[in-house]
Amino acid sequence: MTVTAVVTRDPGRRVQAAGDWPGAKLHDDLAGMLDDRGAYDLVVIASPTAMHVEHAAAVAAAGVPFVLDKPIGVDAAEARRVLAAATDAGTPFTVFHNRRWDPEQLTLQALVRRGDLGDVHTFERRWERWRPVPRQRWKERDPKGGGLLLDLGPHLVDSATQLFGRVEAVYAEMRALTTPVEDDVFLVLHHADHVVSRLWAGSLVGAPGPRTRVLGTGGAFVVTTFEGDASPFEVLDEGAPDGTAGWLTHGRERTPVPAAPGGHADFYRAVEAWLTDDDAPVPVDPADAVRTAEVLDAARVAAREGRIVDV
């Protein structure tokens, strides 16, 4: 797939786009790009979350298939509006839940499917960083579309529901420690199959990790670190064979688990197949993203009222 057009008004990003994609046409606004419909087959909407409804509606009305960054709206109401706009226009779209293609996620799926962990009862995942000085960007500053619940929460919730199914109830705690919006998030998801997911996202975490811990009647799966982020748990990986995704553990006993093949590029390979093959499935069903938004809405209520909230 080739990038043929980019929308940006920022002078620095225009220079970057011209260098990254020579020959791509640069547009000052979305309307200008939509007027040049013959130049592309797919639009990727990667604007700030608070603008997703507006931009998705415009692309849907133009009849151009699109990929929409997560989350598809700041809340479930906006998510449903996006889905309705695309459905009414008959315009297909998918959502950039690229973390479904993480080797870690694919490896865990295979372990669960094979029954290596027995009956799973607890899933834990942390997306934690040591970032005491926040970045000066909208994700940390925008009171409507920013904050870790909307930035990392969709990935965490989508990963949990992809593995363990529908969420029936949510408990949550959130704080804003270094930014105007929450940068410390804890979610507890109660799944319909009785698995409990405990999910963390934080920016002021001096000891991140372990990244993933899954507990079952047959043992546990542990991933110590994530994408090279510094963590005191990384020493546990010393001597691990190349290509290890994590550890199958039983008390002090641990066995390295080879990583399943895959990566983020497979998302766009799936997009290309979806666009060109009538029998290829949509890479991510937008209805999944709407349900994730409903879980995040329930989490906000749970954190505000200090109780478990049904979804």
Let me know: does 93 contact 79? Beta carbons within 8 Å: no
pLDDT tens-digit series, residues 39-49:
899 999 999 99
Rounded Cα distance, 67 and 90, in Å: 15
pLDDT tens-digit series, residues 106-160:
999 999 999 999 999 999 999 999 999 988 888 888 888 999 999 999 999 999 9
Rounded Cα distance, 161 and 177, in Å: 28
Let me know: does 223 contact 210? Beta carbons within 8 Å: yes
Please name each of the domains of the chain with its CATH number.
Answer: 5-97+265-283 (3.40.50.720), 99-262+297-305 (3.30.360.10)
Let me know: does 182 contact 147? Beta carbons within 8 Å: yes
pLDDT tens-digit series, residues 247-290:
999 999 999 999 999 999 999 999 999 999 999 999 999 999 99
pLDDT at 136: 85
pLDDT tens-digit series, residues 27-65:
999 999 999 988 899 999 999 999 999 999 999 999 999
With CA atoms as reference, report the closest residue to 221 among 102, 80, 110, 91. Answer: 110
pTM of the model: 0.94
Q: Can you give the C-alpha Rg of the chain in angstroms?
A: 20
pLDDT at 198: 98
> Does 230 score more than 90 pLDDT?
no
pLDDT at 74: 96
Let me know: does 234 contact 191? Beta carbons within 8 Å: no
In the chain, what is the straight-line distance between the N-terminal and C-terminal CA atoms, in Å?
39
Give SS3 for 54. Answer: helix
